[in-house]
Homo-oligomer: A and B are copies of this chain.
Amino acid sequence: LRKGFPEVIFGQGKTSGQIIEIMEKIIIHEDIVLVTRLEKEKAQKISSKIQGTQYFEDAKLMWFKKNEPKITGFGQILVITAGTSDIPVAKEALLTAHAMGNEVKSIFDVGVAGIHRLFAHQEQIMTAAVIIVVAGMEGALPSVVAGMVKAPVIAVPTSIGYGTSFGGMTALLGMLNSCSSNIAVVNIDNGFGAGFMASSINHVSVA
């Protein structure tokens, strides 16, 4: 076994029938299975066939669990969003990291246009082991957060915005050009990848 980790199915572009078929094979030998980018309607069809699933509509994520995931990660993973519209992506990250055996926390809607809102949470930010920052539009929040801590920061651009936000490209570019250095970036709206990477980091010392 390569990763010793919950199996993940990429739900987008698969029919509920296809997903059910894959799940039925997997759940024989897996404790936890995630399905990402899953529309509500497909989720309902799957739930009616497979016992033990739970669906999170805003995160578009389903999980199947035989038991609760055991906390095996080193410290706390903190997920921060710039706006309220970034919350679905943040939830996808939170659920993924939780399923992978991490303690998770969140702070929502603390974007840079009112930076005092961010500073109100300074203590919690300083104590996290790994931080995920989710932001659309200009994508400036990860730079500011990373400037406040020693911990590694995973930046997730979102497609929130209009006009020249170019579906998240502007936020992505901002994050790649951050003048802070403890930052790395994942694909636009990729909450799943951010949660996965954060968990991978949080298990570095856990061989």
Which residues of A line the B interface, CB within 8 A? 2-5, 8, 10, 12-14, 18, 37, 74-75, 82-85, 111-115, 129-130, 137-140, 143-144, 146-152, 154, 157, 159-190, 192-194, 196-197, 200-205
Contact = CB atoms under 8 A, between A and B. Distances in A.
Contacts of A174: 138-140, 170, 173-174
A182 B200 contact: yes
A183 to B, nearest CB: 7
Contact of A150 (B10, B148, B179, B203): B203
B197 A152 contact: yes
Contact of A137 (B149, B162, B178): B178
Contact of A205 (B113, B165, B205): B205
A46 to B, nearest CB: 16
B8 A181 contact: yes
Given A139-B140, A161-B177, A204-B205, 17 more contacts: A3-B150, A74-B204, A75-B205, A111-B179, A112-B144, A112-B147, A114-B147, A115-B148, A129-B204, A137-B177, A138-B177, A138-B179, A152-B200, A163-B167, A163-B190, A164-B173, A204-B204
A204 B130 contact: yes
Contacts of A162: 12, 37, 187-190
B147 A113 contact: yes
A184 B182 contact: no
A148 B2 contact: yes
B193 A185 contact: no
Nearest to A171: B177
Contact of A164 (B114, B144, B172): B172
Contacts of A200: 150-152, 182
Contacts of A169: 164, 173
Given A3-B150, A5-B150, A152-B204, A181 B192 contact: yes
